[in-house]
Structure 1
Amino acid sequence: MKKFITSKHLLCFLLFPSLLFTLSISGDTLTQGQYITDGKTLISSGGNFALGFFSPTNSKSRYVGIWYNTISVQTVVWVANREKPILTGNGTLTISGNGSLIISDDNSTIYWSTPGVSAGNPIAQLLDTGNFVVREEWNSATEIYEWQSFDYPTDALLPGMKLGWNLTSGLNRYLTGWTSPSDPFPGPYFMGIHTNGDPQVILQTTKSWLWRGGNWDGVRFTGIPEMKTYSAFNFTFVDNEEEMYYMYHILDDSIISRLIVNYDGTTQRLVWLNESSMWNVFWFAPKDPCDKVSPCGPFGVCNPNDSPMCECLQGFDPESPTNWAMRDQSDGCVRLTPLDCRNGTDGFITVSMTKLPDTSNATVNMSMTLDECRTLCLSNCSCTAYASADIAGNETGCVIWTTELTDLRLYTYGGQSLYVRLAAADLIKSQGHKQGVVAVVVSVLLGTLLIIVIGFCILMKKKKKKKRRAEERSLSYLCTIWIQSWLQPMTSPQKNKLGEGGFGPVYKGTLAEGQDIAVKRLSKTSAQGIDEFKNEVLLIAKLQHRNLVRLLGFCIQGDERMLVYEYMPNKSLDAFLFDKVKGASLDWSTRYSIIMGIARGLLYLHEDSRFRIIHRDLKASNILLDKKMTPKISDFGMARIFGGDETEVNTRKVVGTYGYMAPEYAMDGIFSVKSDVFSFGVLVLEIISGQKNRGVYYSESHLNLLGHAWSLWKEENCMELVDESIGQEFPMAEIFRCIKVGLLCVQERPEDRPTMSSVVLMLGSENALLPNPKRPGFIAARGSFDLDSLTNQESFTMNAMTITVVDGR
């Protein structure tokens, strides 16, 4: 019997293909109550990308992923459940009422999920960029997402994706290669942004770096010089307080490109070729032996076009000549002649077309010129090299290395200039015969000029000697008058008394020519004796800096000892800082200027003066203020000179002021430049808060200022530390940076604290990268011990060590 096709059957037949089409395509959005089953996909609005279930080559495991929808070869760029594939059963992707994406099977086993979100009516959408996002249903006009796949990349970086950090949330976006072409499980190789020092892109395993892309120089990463030639791409590197990331965009919409980390430990930029229907390798790394991390060791230079490929920088020789001859150059090179920081004879050689050395421990200041960078490097005895931080346009910014130079290589094109510091002897050796002839001519000219200068100096010396004798007579006369006043009890000196500290009383006086001075008289009951008096005279007489108080003279007669200083009309910092009325006159600009001035003064003491000097009693009362509120460090009675090879000293007599003492000094008697750094950090926090660290406690936990500041920092409420007398209008970013520097300086372990050269850079640069501080030392009160109960001269014993607490003005 024949079967006839009725109109009803025909209608079903015509509708059937459309039903099949509906099962395989469900637009670009997944809403609550909907789900994507295995075999069903989301397609982005422009058709660029698809999302659904897939199996890798030679695998039956099922994953949810995103792939290109417009090319003939399925290329997956993101995998959701890469760590837990579906092996049996049918998979489903859904979005829950709280916005959580869930991959499960028909047995309700969950293979992958995302956290819930705060959106009231969340939906999931596949964007035409390849980004899979969760957002409010009504909020389609802005790029505000509750969750996005771009924040959790797998092995591929697409245009518009960020490689790097959200510094506010701590989110790190990095690429991780597959285990194999058939297994997307995270493999051992990953690439991301290394944040220490000057940030750089790194390809690595959990144990070691494989390739270093270098730091960003304003145009490209210094380890990828060819980036400058990529006319079809726009590269961006963002580095601020909130984010630190690398991103690229493609200027031609017809180009399809992605950056990947492979399962074999290489990174590649791939471009799709429509004509041949294949991915073409546009760029890759590592590509030659010099791309390995530091194959030539410290101060070695790698050149892949040379044989052997390693050589030492000028002024350096192989650390192990035997190993070097056997082509094992990993030990690197050592300096021929030590640097001579004190006499200022060091100079620089220029190494052109380089991949800059590892910048993990480098310091960056974007506000400096290259000439200022050179000057700063010469002023820092630890500086080994410098370079421009930004080569876009005129070279600007400053990158400084204070450690060994590692992973340095040369390019045949591109690259950047590096300025390596050498001793004068090694600079002279490189000049050759021509420079020698020039040197002779210059020497003759200099000799002639020297004769003229010497004659002029002799004349000026006579004039200065005459003037100095007049001043000495004036000082001598003054000292005689003052000493006689004390020996023959008079009331006149008491009228001019300015204050009193651990040394003794301080009086105001006037020289015969009308210059105001301050006179400190050593008290017979003072904890400081003749040794401290001599120490201060010998030390401060040899120091000249605008942020150090100037010693004009001293007097000794019988038992009387007096020091004569330039007069500071605004007295000491503590007189303003801890007085609510006077504190109101210290606006933030003045406080910041005081912080910077103290920092520069300490830097001079630690690194730039003829001697390395540890103050040991830095505190608010020992910071004097001139009429312009310029800070000047005073009271050098406790100071110590370090030898050239000394880094720390152990003493059985600990002197100073509690609240400012570093833990290792107060407890173990060990002091170093880092002891002063600790005191400076306390001082910074006191200047910001207007509160004392010693004897002032906050909250029921009995936290001192350091503990209070640390607690606020951890709670991300550090702006509550700011003194109310500053007012409501102040630069939050600048104060935040100062608080962070203060906390870095008071870290418990000395090795964690920065040097003063780093402190000055961090304080003075808006773009300087600051590490996160660790727990401070001495952050809480110890039992019922009352720090304020100590008198100016009390001593006690701890661990068989005498501690003398001397409290100044």
Structure 2
Amino acid sequence: MRRPPVFQPLLLFLSSLFSLSVGGDLLTPTQPLRDGQTLISAGGNFELGFFSPVNSNNRYVGIWYHKVSVPTVVWVANRQHPISEPKGSLSITANGTLVITDQNSTAVWSSGSSGLTNPVAQLLDSGNFIVKEAKGASNGPGSFAWQSFDYPTDTLLPGMKLGWNLTSHLNRNLTAWTDASDPAPGYYSMALDVEGDPEIFLLGGAHRLWRTGPWVGQRFSGIPEMKTYSMFTFNFVMDQDEIYYTFNILDGSVISRLIVNQSGVTQRLVWLEQSQAWSIFWFAPKDQCDGVSPCGPFGICDTNNSPICDCLQGFEPRSPTNWALRDGSDGCKRKTALDCRNGTDGFVTVNEVKLPDTSNSTVDMSLSLDQCRAMCLRNCSCTAYASANTSGGGCIIWTAEITDLRVFTFGGQDLYVRLAAADLGSASKHSHLSRIAAIVVGSVLGTLLLGWIGCCIWNKKRRRRRTKQAMSMLGTISFANNYINEGTEGNELDLPSYDLGTIVAATDNFSIKNKLGEGGFGPVYKGKLGEEQEIAVKRLAKTSVQGIDEFKNEVMLIAKLQHRNLVQLLGCCIQGEERMLIYEYMPNKSLDAFLFDKAKAALLDWQTRYNIIAGIARGLLYLHQDSRLRIIHRDLKASNILLDKEMNPKISDFGMARIFGGDEAEVNTHRVVGTYGYMSPEYAMDGIFSVKSDVFSFGVLVLEITSGKKNRGVYYSNRHTNLLGHAWYLWKEGNGLELVDESIGYSFPMAEVLRCIKVALLCVQEHPEDRPTMSSVVLMLGSESACLPYPKQPGFVATKGPFEIDSSSSKQDSLTVNDLSVTVFEAR
């Protein structure tokens, strides 16, 4: 399982690190805090003062850990109103109002009037900055006229509340920084939804990305591991005045915080004194099933299954076609309608689950589980029920479609789903009938059946023996073993093997009239199997710059992949010295044949281009996240995007692809493959690749599709030397629409085009941690209401790294035809 990197929001400038204390933890009306001075809490846990984020000269008032060697800010006052010069001050007025003023003595932030007569502000050892009366007041939370804990930024500290004050309507939530140099509220946030049975959501703009599930006593339903955390205490308070979550640490020597980082991940971090670093203790979302409702209504997600989505007993896919293509978002529908009037409905128990979304549920803590069942049966709208507390007691009832249901390997709960009588025990009835049928068939047709099975087994063994013999010519056995060890199922390559005669006949003996093109791998030919099936044959040339490794990689990898936006490998031919791959034929050939040809580019209107962009995004999302394997393509480019007769895109050429292990975040290689112009800076320069490398290539593709122009092969800092620099310059100037290909004309949805350009610029940002994941990209492309962060400068590569440059990275002009990358190479 991939663990996201620890996110340190900023580094303080030396002026903050070596600032002077004003003599304690108090701020009074007669003694303001000036830039360069700090307050330090009585026990030395926290420090308050002015700071500048990394790569920024702006000044903010914030609180950071005093005893932690890595500067870590946990709260920012004027996060949306920075001061441009280090001449600001923080003061408290005579009525208890905190005020931040800039170099011109202009107020840029204030806490609001507190109505006090003798106020002071104090920094507590908890990290809370409070305003109270100077005399006669305790340090209890109820005695504070104002406190920073009521206005969190991206961090939840021990004792802080995440949730609502129902009396004052104060909503305490966490909001990520915009980026490491800007603490202004960013795209991601975490907030408590009080509707139904309250639960906490991680949000991307207004879109729900992950949820904790409801509080079920000692923990949230969606975080079963919480009950194993012996060093923490967790509390969830729900009364007429407040609904909130908070945590505390039992061991005073442990330093821990909960954050929402700018990548859209919520993390619990702990400080390791020995290594002087922050360590990830827990994070979410973790896996494919952590997304909100990936399997739709009445679907259930299980990461141990492939595909991960299944329908509950008594339900079937709403869209069988999409379901077969591993898209379960439409969910499931009942096989049999409920019959509430006659009282014949019952319940099936679903074990070890995260309870469904409770936003539209009702809760009655006075009911037992049996009473809960009876109440559900009396309510014709009730679809499911469960215990509201893992220790028993309480009742949650759902009266609408149940969504976002997932299975845990341990620590889940029982959910009772309402079914019609006909669907109750249907599995056991079916098994009983099957056994009877098997006995009858066995007694009547036993000899014939056994003979037929024996024939099938013999044919299958012969076919596998032929494939194994062919593969052994290539030395594939050790490769296959390594492949299996990386997590694939089975040990057989279930891929048809064609004999050479069949391929010779299909291509008219590799006739020149059937030749589609030629590149680094070798020539590509069009052919026909039988009367109807058109194919493309990729033939490895003896002089090929791509070799046996790439051939084996593509055979072993793409044969395992099935998605409507990936090209389909039909089989292979390995005979003598011949090595060929047989693909489905793509009549519209490759994307670059349209994009960079002025005559053909006019055939690509904006809707077609947008559909191509969305299709590529879905294909990449499948490779990165939804397939049984986790795959980095490493050579995504226009020539490797094929177009079928409806102009639907299909990603091709997996010779350079790499399978990632479940816990790998990035890999360093000394053999860089791919194509300049599409390679991310960290890959081209340092040989480091990850899913974010493909994201970068996707961003380049989107800009090429939008503009109809190629990106150049080598990056320089001058903005006019490549497409990325040109697009960035136009975007900053507010002239993004000037990038649009003239071939499109002037009839296109401007908002949609600008959104695609902005998504592309987010994808090609220099630092991989700034780039979105493909799941976020798909969400941003498909949502008109999504709030996109402002992109940073694209990455530019000026030099080569100290490693081998693969020949496939040579200067080239792409001429891909059909379902593969046909690359014409030129000497340097």
Give the partner amino acid of 2:303.
Answer: C
1:116 counterpart residue number: none
Q: Does 1:479 align with 2:479?
A: no
Q: Deviations over 1:224-250 (max 9, x none)?
A: 5998xxxxxxxxxxxxxxxx99xxxxx
Cα distance in 1 for residues equivalent to 2:532 and 2:396: 68
Q: Does 1:444 align with 2:428?
A: yes
Shift of 1:601: 0.8
Cα distance in 2 for residues equivalent to 1:701 and 1:326: 53
Cα distance in 1 for residues equivalent to 2:793 and 2:630: 28
Cα distance in 2 for residues equivalent to 1:189 and 1:292: 26
Cα distance in 2 for residues equivalent to 1:761 and 1:464: 47
Cα distance in 2 for residues equivalent to 1:495 and 1:291: 65
2:793 counterpart residue number: 775
Give the 3-state SS of the residue equivalent to 2:563 in structure 1: coil
Shift of 1:589: 0.3
Matches within 5 A, 1:355-374: 372=329
Q: Is the 8 A contact 2:221 2:412 kept in 1?
A: no
Q: Does 1:730 align with 2:748?
A: yes
2:550 counterpart residue number: 532
Aligned residue among 804, 808, 823 for 1:805: 808
Give the partner amino acid of 1:618.
Answer: L
Q: Does 1:321 align with 2:212?
A: no
1:204 counterpart residue number: 151
Matches within 5 A, 1:80-479: 176-178=111-113, 181=116, 203-204=150-151, 315-321=224-230, 323-324=232-233, 329-330=247-248, 340-343=302-305, 372=329, 422-426=406-410, 430=414, 441=425, 443-448=427-432, 476-479=500-503
Q: Is the 8 A contact 1:548 1:634 kept in 2?
A: yes
Q: Deviations over 1:485-537 (max 9, x none)?
A: 4xxxxxx6211111122211211111222322111111222221011111111
Cα distance in 2 for residues equivalent to 1:478 and 1:579: 35
Compared CA separation, residues 322 and 472, structure 1 to 2 (3 A): closer
Matches within 5 A, 1:612-691: 612-691=630-709
Give the partner amino acid of 1:320.
Answer: Y
Cα distance in 1 for residues equivalent to 2:585 and 2:458: 23
Give the partner amino acid of 1:341.
Answer: T
Listed as ranges, the gaps of 5+ residues in structure 1 are: 1-58, 61-153, 157-171, 191-200, 215-222, 228-243, 246-285, 351-369, 376-382, 392-409, 486-491, 786-796
Compared CA separation, residues 628 and 766, structure 1 to 2 (3 A): same
Cα distance in 1 for residues equivalent to 2:526 and 2:428: 53
Q: Does 1:607 align with 2:625?
A: yes
Q: Deviations over 1:332-376 (max 9, x none)?
A: 9979999752515979999xxxxxxxxxxxxxxxxxxx994879x
Q: Is the 8 A contact 1:387 1:419 kept in 2?
A: yes
Matches within 5 A, 1:15-26: none
Cα distance in 1 for residues equivalent to 2:588 and 2:201: 56
Give the 3-state SS of the residue equivalent to 1:506 in structure 2: strand
Cα distance in 2 for residues equivalent to 1:640 and 1:676: 11
Cα distance in 1 for residues equivalent to 2:786 and 2:437: 43
Compared CA separation, residues 561 and 207, structure 1 to 2 (3 A): closer
1:750 counterpart residue number: 768
Matches within 5 A, 1:692-731: 692-695=710-713, 701-731=719-749
Compared CA separation, residues 732 and 618, structure 1 to 2 (3 A): same
Give the partner amino acid of 2:808.
Answer: V
Give the partner amino acid of 1:624.
Answer: L
Q: Which has the higher contact order (CA 8 A, sep 6+)?
A: 2
Q: Is the 8 A contact 1:348 1:421 kept in 2?
A: no
Q: What is the root-mean-square deviation of aligned Cα atoms in Å? A: 5.9
Cα distance in 1 for residues equivalent to 2:598 and 2:306: 46
Compared CA separation, residues 208 and 173, structure 1 to 2 (3 A): farther
Shift of 1:447: 2.6
Q: Is the 8 A contact 1:660 1:679 kept in 2?
A: yes
Give the 3-state SS of the residue equivalent to 1:692 in structure 2: coil
Shift of 1:205: 5.8
Give the partner amino acid of 2:587.
Answer: P
Q: Does 1:513 align with 2:497?
A: no
Shift of 1:715: 1.2
Compared CA separation, residues 677 and 460, structure 1 to 2 (3 A): farther
TM-score of the two chains, using structure 2 as the length reference: 0.49
Compared CA separation, residues 512 and 729, structure 1 to 2 (3 A): same
Give the 3-state SS of the residue equivalent to 1:736 in structure 2: helix
Give the partner amino acid of 1:445.
Answer: K
Cα distance in 2 for residues equivalent to 1:559 and 1:494: 21
Q: Is the 8 A contact 2:634 2:656 kept in 1?
A: yes
Q: Deviations over 1:48-93 (max 9, x none)?
A: xxxxxxxxxxx99xxxxxxxxxxxxxxxxxxxxxxxxxxxxxxxxx
Give the 3-state SS of the residue equivalent to 1:318 in structure 2: helix
Q: Is the 8 A contact 1:374 1:386 kept in 2?
A: no
Shift of 1:173: 11
Aligned residue among 546, 564, 570 for 2:588: 570
Comparing 701-710 and 567-576, the one that deviates more? 701-710
Give the partner amino acid of 1:204.
Answer: Y
Compared CA separation, residues 177 and 441, structure 1 to 2 (3 A): same
2:205 counterpart residue number: none
Q: Is the 8 A contact 1:682 1:693 kept in 2?
A: yes
Q: How many residues align?
A: 493
Q: Deviations over 1:626-649 (max 9, x none)?
A: 111011111111011112222222
Cα distance in 1 for residues equivalent to 2:199 and 2:602: 58
Q: Is the 8 A contact 1:323 1:329 kept in 2?
A: yes
Compared CA separation, residues 721 and 444, structure 1 to 2 (3 A): same
Shift of 1:599: 0.7
Q: Is the 8 A contact 2:506 2:527 kept in 1?
A: no
Give the partner amino acid of 2:113.
Answer: W
Q: Is the 8 A contact 2:221 2:355 kept in 1?
A: no
Q: Is the 8 A contact 1:496 1:509 kept in 2?
A: yes
Q: Percent identity?
A: 51
Compared CA separation, residues 173 and 302, structure 1 to 2 (3 A): farther
Q: Deviations over 1:289-312 (max 9, x none)?
A: x99999xxx998897xx9x88676
Cα distance in 1 for residues equivalent to 2:96 and 2:559: 64
Give the 3-state SS of the residue equivalent to 1:564 in structure 2: strand
Give the partner amino acid of 1:805.
Answer: S
1:761 counterpart residue number: 779
Shift of 1:734: 0.6
Shift of 1:572: 0.4
Which structure has the larger Rg over C-alpha atoms?
A: 1
Q: Is the 8 A contact 1:503 1:526 kept in 2?
A: yes
Cα distance in 2 for residues equivalent to 1:695 and 1:498: 25
